[in-house]
Each structure stands twice: as C-alpha cells, then as structure tokens.
Amino acid sequence: MSRTRILTAATALASVLALNSTAFAQSGEVNLYSYRESKLLQPLTDAFTKDTGIKINVVSASSGLEQRIKAEGANSPADLLLTVDIGRIDEAVQAGVTQPIKSEVIDKIVPAQYRDPDGHWAGISMRARVIYASKDRVKQDAITYEELADPKWKGKICIRSGQHIYNNALFAAYVAHHGEAKAEEWLRGVKANLAQKPSGGDRETARDVAAGKCDLGIGNTYYWALMMDKDPDKKPWAEATKVILPTFAGKGTHVNLSGLLLVKNAPNRANAIKLIEWLAGEQAQKIYADANYEYPVRAGVAINPTIAGYGKLNADTLPVAKIATNRKAASTLVDKVGFDN
C-alpha cells in the first residue's frame, strides 16, 4: 500500500472514531463500567432514568475494566467506573484513566475523608473490616485491632490472605496510624496468633469460626449480613458468630469504600456528573447501601437493619486516600514477616 493510501485510510479511520465519539456524547445516556453486577445496580439505574430521563448503559466485569478503558483510549465510551476498595480505586487512578470530578454537590455531601484530594474519586458507600467472633467462646463485645496481636489469642484467629486487597487496606491503615516499624511488630504478633495458614475468603473465615477452628475471624461487614439474610446454606455460620466492630486504639473502625471515578475521556461528562450527584442523594444512598449491605456516606440516611444490628459504627476518621499511599508498604511488610506462609 502506498504512503498516500495509508494516510488516506488513517484519516478515514480517525473520522469514523471521531463520529463515534460524537455519537456517544449526543446520546443522552451515560455509560457505566462496573465491578458490581448489573442486577445489583438495576434498582438504582431504573430510578435514575425515571428521575432524569437519562439512560444508563452498564458494562459489568469482575476484572480488567481499567485495562479495557486504557486500551480503548480517547474513543472509550466509558463515562464512569464503579469499583470497590481503595486498592482498586487507586489502581484506576494510577492507570491514568480518570479525571477530577468537579462538583460542589459532592464536595458538600461526601465527607472529605471519603473523597480524593485531587478529585478523581468519591465514595458512595462504606464497608468496615470487622471481627466475626464465636458466640460460645468469645465473651467480650469490644476489641481493638491492636489487640489482635495479644498472645491471649494465640491459635485463635482465622483470616484470608494478607495480600488480599481487603486486608492490605486494613494493614495500610495500621501503617498510617502507627508507622512501619510498629506495623511490622503487630503483623508478626497477628501471624503468631493464627490458627491456620491464611486461606479462603471472608465467608470461609466465618465457617471456620463456626466449626471451632478459631475463635475470631476477620471479614467485611456485608458478608455476614449476606449469609444471615440471603444464603440459607451459610446462615448457620452467621448464627454461630457475632459481629464486633473493632477500633484502632483511641480511634474508630477501619472503613473502606465503594467509589465512583470519572473516566478521563468521558463522552457524556455532564450526564456522568449528574449520576454521581444523584447517587449522593438520600434516595439513592438508601437504595445502594441497603442492596449491598453497606453504610451510606451521606449523613442521616437509614442503615440496613441487619447492619445496624452490629451496633453504632464509629468510623475511623483517617482519610481513605492515606490508606492508598501506604498500600505498598503494607504489602511489603506482609511478605517480610511471611504472613501467608
């Protein structure tokens, strides 16, 4: 093919892509890439469309959405990315596929500790990393994260991999509060108290507590609620345990986020901002948090009764962004102490 024909073909392709991009922008819709299943989002998407007339197109996947957006480049149809955990949120920012969310509504409603200082993400709900304790063998109803390294719990703790993003965030928060040296000492203490090699997921942790393999398990708030309310086969694991909301000494309970990021080349940016702001509203906050057994980030919104049954959440005031900055240090410490060995 001659150089002239190559240039002509390239120009034609660029024109087609530009037209496609324009079509996305003129569609009156918003394209949401989500790590949450479409069926879980449908009550929200239906309500938003009813309120605004704007249709939401959901692309759901269990992994790889950041890479997909990056590969699609400037012509990506994605407007928003919905993901969970500060680890995944931070990975999307580091991939360079986001832009700042400029919204006075979000700045007013969403507390600063649940927003990116540079504006690239905002939390829409919270989950906490808590203790599943044996009802029969654990009499206390309060515990600190620091206490998990106390020798009195030797051979009595179950947990999933220390490198899993949920534990990485908890350990990163510990680093943020106490520094790397004390975090290393603490991790060695927790490792010494493990009943078995870290394995499985949070549900399996509850299973092992119920089976008497350990007295304490570490898991997220919503797993216990899902077992209790939605999974008859696993309900006995929840019934054998109680949820304790631990705290950092003198502080609050470690929380993480489900968050939204505005995609760098969002073709429907105005509609995307409308959706973000709508999700911070009272109606959406209740629907989303209730459906996912999470805590609303907006103050004054009713909490799901099962979650409320854990007791009042005194959330740690550590900015979630500081957890992101300590993720690498936490991961390094997990390997250094041989936590998963």
- For 74-106, the pLDDT digits (tens) are 999 999 999 999 999 999 999 999 999 999 999
Tell me the residue type at 133.
A
What is the bridge-based pairing of β-strands 121-134 and 255-263? antiparallel
Q: Could you tell me the pLDDT band of residue 27, with boundaries at 50, 70 and 90?
A: low
pLDDT in tens, 171-186: 999 999 999 999 999 9
What are phi and psi for residue 281, nearest 5 degrees?
-75, 160
pLDDT: which is higher, 14 or 294:
294
Domain ranges for the chain: 3-126+256-303, 127-254+315-336
Q: How far apart are CA 76 and CA 73, in angstroms?
A: 6
State how far Cα 243 lies from the chain centre: 19
CB 220 within 8 A of CB 202: yes
Domain 127-254+315-336 sits in which CATH superfamily?
Periplasmic binding protein-like II (3.40.190.10)
Q: Could you tell me the pLDDT band of residue 11, with boundaries at 50, 70 and 90?
A: very low
What whole-number percentage of the chain has pLDDT above 70? Answer: 92
pLDDT: which is higher, 124 or 21:
124
Global pTM reads 0.90
Q: Give the chain's mean pLDDT.
A: 92
Number of other CB atoms surrounding residue 258 within 10 Å: 24
Q: Could you tell me the pLDDT band of residue 38, with boundaries at 50, 70 and 90?
A: confident
Q: How far apart are CA 306 and CA 268, in angstroms?
A: 37
Binding-site residues for Fe cation, in ranges, read 222-223
Domain 3-126+256-303 sits in which CATH superfamily?
Periplasmic binding protein-like II (3.40.190.10)
Q: How far apart are CA 121 and CA 95, in angstroms?
A: 13
Binding-site residues, in ranges, read 222-223
pLDDT above 80 for 275: yes
276-302: b (≥16 Cβ within 10 Å) or e: bbbbbbeebbbbbbbbbbbbbbbeebe
Q: How far apart are CA 151 and CA 92, in angstroms?
A: 39
